Structure 1
Amino acid sequence: MSPSNAPLNHLHTLSRNLQPASLFRIRSPTTARSTPLGPAFIHIPAAMSATIAIPKARKPMPSALTFNLEAKCSTTKARASTLHLPHGPVQLPIFMPVATQASLKGLTPEQLAETGCKLCLNNTYHLGLKPGQAVLDKVGGAHVFQGWNGNILTDSGGFQMVSLLKLAHVTEEGVRFLSPHDGTPMLLTPEHSISLQNSIGSDIIMQLDDVIATTSPDHARIKEAMERSVRWLDRCIDAHKYPEKQNLFCIIQGGLDLELRKECCKQMVERDTPGIAIGGLSGGEAKDEFCKVVNTCTGLLPERKPRYVMGVGYPEDLVVAVALGADMFDCVWPTRTARFGNAVTSVGTLNLRNASYANDFGPIEEGCQCICCRCKANGGLEITRAYIHHLAAKETVGAHLLTMHNVHYMLAMMSSLRQAIIEDRFPDFLRVFFLKMYGHSSNIPQWAITALRGVGVDLLAD
């Protein structure tokens, strides 16, 4: 593959239609003028776009992370490790809250830090839209822009292109879509996605991948998406300007087809990125299928690199995925559900809008050490369920308080899980977790029982 000095005619047409304020106009690294296609635009000949390209001979990619594996469960595939990133160490396994537009809805950076968060997500698509790349370059990146001293992971923007925008169309060049503002035709390429993330300055950046729902019946399209994701990774690697400061993670695709997943793992591992993500899940597939994919992929990935399962946020999904060998997770669910009056607790999700909580003067969760649940003598706010019930339907502060609680709960749960791995009592942790959440062994979902039996843990054993 070689850079094309003359992009396809239809791309010239696309370029002429783009306006100066368009979302995906970026400055070329070699000139001050604007280009809508991104630097080093690559045209892939049709003959090559039908296959996975052989990895180019490159120097080893510099890494801005250190991964220290500290403990392994003697029964399951669970691991405890520390990921050293440019903005500080992060203990794995970890749940990462999603601060979509450089803000966790309703929380200040200080309040987010109060939850114990060391690594959060920002959204490349939304930051490219607003404030835009020029502002991010001027201010010095998203850390400065949002006043956040912790680490940031950014997605590539591809998922939002396909899931949020009408008439999005994926081609070998990239993702074509219509501007959400004025309907202008636009194009996001792998090169441009990386350029945006370079401007954001995130500690972990994600490749642009070809995203397709796991529930799609079109096997040929799933195979195409997997192979294209590998080719796009090569373009992302070539476009990445700051590998010594930002860590590029590849994304494994292949739908629910385990053979495609195996082939994608092989190809991605050969590219030797600092970390590896398992993508395309949590899209409506059955939980047992989800578990098979995670288990298959983690079994083929390097032991000394972080493994990130994208879009996973339910507590029971997290603990099972950890048992299957995964390290990192993200999801909007804990924060989104807070805005509907729901508290995430060890006994399940509590809808505090229900009338039964109107006279419940206990904390959101007994024993929780978040700032909302702690008593005032210990520096907390001593918020009661009754108070949240009172606020939930009337005041946004109720959602803010529940957001702090929910994020803290998720992070504290992962910390407890990590300690159980270090002390080699993770199977017992799993049994206690599921019994407490579901009340009785007969209520535990079969998918979790089956998945954990596959790694040596019987949730139904006495």
Structure 2
Amino acid sequence: MKLKLEITATDGLARTGVVSTTRGSFATPVFMPVGTRGAIRSLSTHELAGLRTAEGSRAEILLANTYHLMLRPGAETVDTLGGLHRFSGFTGHMLTDSGGYQVFSLAPKVTAEGARFKSTYDGTSHMLTPEGAVKTQELLGADMQMVLDVCAPLPSSESVLREAVETTAAWAARARLAHRRTHDQALLGIVQGGDNIVLRRESAQRTVELDFDAYAVGGLSVGETRERMLPALQSALAELPVDQPRYLMGVGDPLSILEAVSLGVDMFDCVLPTRLARHGTLLTNTGRLNIKRAEFARSEDPVDPNCPCATCVNYPRGLLRHLSCLGESTAHTLCTIHNLTWILGFVDQIRMAIVAGKLEDFRSQVTPVWSTMGPGLGE
């Protein structure tokens, strides 16, 4: 199922658009919250579906993690229960990653066949192959799935990055042949190459030759600075089709999202907003706010008086501080509601700036606020 992007506005390389699928359509640029095990930590899919920004936008895509779902409860179980949408209760679009990023964080034994690793749940040994990743994700039944790739850490030597590019290309070709659920499930190829501009360009060209349904750039925001990340990203994007969505994996800090959109990226995911929320850090138009600070103990103010989320409308900072300091799960939920609403609203603002032809003006306002926060948390 090839994904086509209908571009509705441009400002430089940045664009807004609409992507149509068999499930419906979604507007871009788009931020995808991460529901690792089929649900966001501390937030039900019902609560997620109820989030609305000031512009009326909602979470249109939820990302789930193949590594965790294949181990618990198992892809076959999810399939038996009606697939990931029925299983999770989320009616919007869903995307699953291949599980490769999590597997490679476990120092697996990698061969030409695939990656052998031990489960973090019970220590059992498993083999993840390109074909197996495709089959598992077809059973999970998301609207979009990712090929198995090799994400090299940064910094890495050129030889390590070259090996990652070669293995990713070989595995991508095998995944393309293995993909059978072509009528209702898009398969996205992934560009690798670390922060090496030449390797990024080569990887993008080789990935496009395989004619995937859309394309992603992985292996960034894994230890490099934003100054190293953006040129590598730009070199990859220059080789990707203009009329298909481009997905930057694992990047979720506000400034990196804005910079990437300026280069032509359409889709993002990251655990950053939800992870920060569980630790009492809230995203606001004036930067990060640590709700656990003593100065908020008796504050009657909302986190953001202009935010339409249920947290800001109904609860003062004093309560959020009280619950966060105690580690109450209610605090995690309330802070997550706010952070997701905020990041979705931030992407709304980017979209509106593109339509108005004022993205540079918006960038000049935002950069001083967020320049000290590094890129997101990786692919």
Same-fold call, TM cutoff 0.5: yes
2:338 aligned residue: 405
What is the aligned-residue identity percentage?
37
Q: Which of these residues, 125, 128, 131, is aligned with residue 185 of structure 1?
A: 125
For the residues of structure 1 that align with 2:356 and 2:120, how far apart are their CA atoms? 51
Q: Using the TM superposition, give the Cα deviation of residue 447 of structure 1 relative to its aligned residue in structure 2, in angstroms.
A: 10
Report SS of the residue matched to 1:372: helix
Q: Structure 1 residues 446 and 132, CA, compared in 2 at 3 Å: closer, same or farther?
A: closer
State yes or no: 1:290 paired with 2:229.
Answer: yes
C-alpha separation in 2, matches of 1:248 and 1:223: 24
For the Cα contact (< 8 Å) 2:79–2:141, is it kept in 1? no
Answering whether residue 105 of structure 2 is matched by residue 173 of structure 1, we say no
1:66 is displaced (CA, Å) by 3.5
C-alpha deviations, 1:428-458, integer Å up to 9, x for none?
Answer: 11112234x26xxxxx56999xxxxxxxxxx
Letter in 2 for 1:357: F
Cα deviation for residue 309 of structure 1 reads 0.7
Select 1:139's aligned residue among 81, 88, 94.
81
Question: Partner residue of 2:54?
Answer: none
Q: What is the match of residue 113 of structure 1?
A: 49
Q: What residue is the counterpart of 1:389 in the other structure?
A: 321
Task: Please tell me whether the aligned partners of residues 288 and 447 of structure 1 are also in contact (alpha carbons under 8 angstroms).
Answer: no
Query: Are 2:293 and 1:361 aligned?
Result: no
Q: Distance in 2 between matches of 1:343 and 1:168?
A: 35
Q: Aligned-pair distance for 1:131?
A: 1.2
Larger Rg: 1
Contact 1:78 1:325 in 2 (8 A): yes
What aligned pairs does 1:423-434 form with structure 2 within 5 A after superposition?
423-434=356-367
- Superposed CA deviations along residues 398-436 of structure 1, whole A, max 9, x for unmatched, are 11000011001000110111011112111111112234x
The question of whether the paired residues in 2 share the 8 Å contact of 1:125 and 1:160 is answered with yes
Cα distance in 1 for partners of 2:299, 2:23 equals 41
Q: Report the aligned-residue RMSD.
A: 1.7
Distance 1:385 1:286, change over 3 A: same
Task: Provide the rounded CA distance (Å) in 1 between the counterparts of 2:309 and 2:119.
Answer: 41
Correspondence for 1:200 = 140
Q: Distance in 1 between matches of 2:318 and 2:372?
A: 31
Q: For the Cα contact (< 8 Å) 1:72–1:421, is it kept in 2?
A: yes
**Aligned equivalents of 2:44 and 2:86: distance in 1?**
14
Alpha-carbon offset, residue 390 of structure 1: 1.1
Paired residues of 2:37 and 2:65 also in contact (CA < 8 A): yes
Amino acid corresponding to residue 17 of structure 2 in structure 1 = S
TM-score, normalised with respect to structure 2:
0.93
Correspondence for 2:287 = 348
Residue 128 (structure 1) aligned with residue 128 (structure 2):
no
How many residues end up aligned between the 2 structures?
A: 368
Matches within 5 A, 1:260-271: 260-271=199-210
Output the CA distance in 2 between the equivalents of 1:157 and 1:371: 33
Unaligned runs of 5+ in 1: 1-61, 375-381, 439-443, 449-462
Aligned to 1:70: 8
Q: Is the 8 A contact 2:108 2:116 kept in 1?
A: yes
Contact 2:144 2:187 in 1 (8 A): yes
Per-residue Cα deviation, 1:31-71 (whole angstroms, up to 9, x for no partner): xxxxxxxxxxxxxxxxxxxxxxxxxxxxxxx42x3321111
SS in structure 1 opposite 2:224?
Answer: coil
Q: TM-score, normalised by structure 1?
A: 0.77
What is the match of residue 278 of structure 2?
339
| Dislocated runs of 4+, deviation >4 Å | 444-448
1:99 pairs with 23, 29, 35, which one? Answer: 35
The 8 Å contact of residues 253 and 373 in structure 2, kept in 1 or not, is answered as no
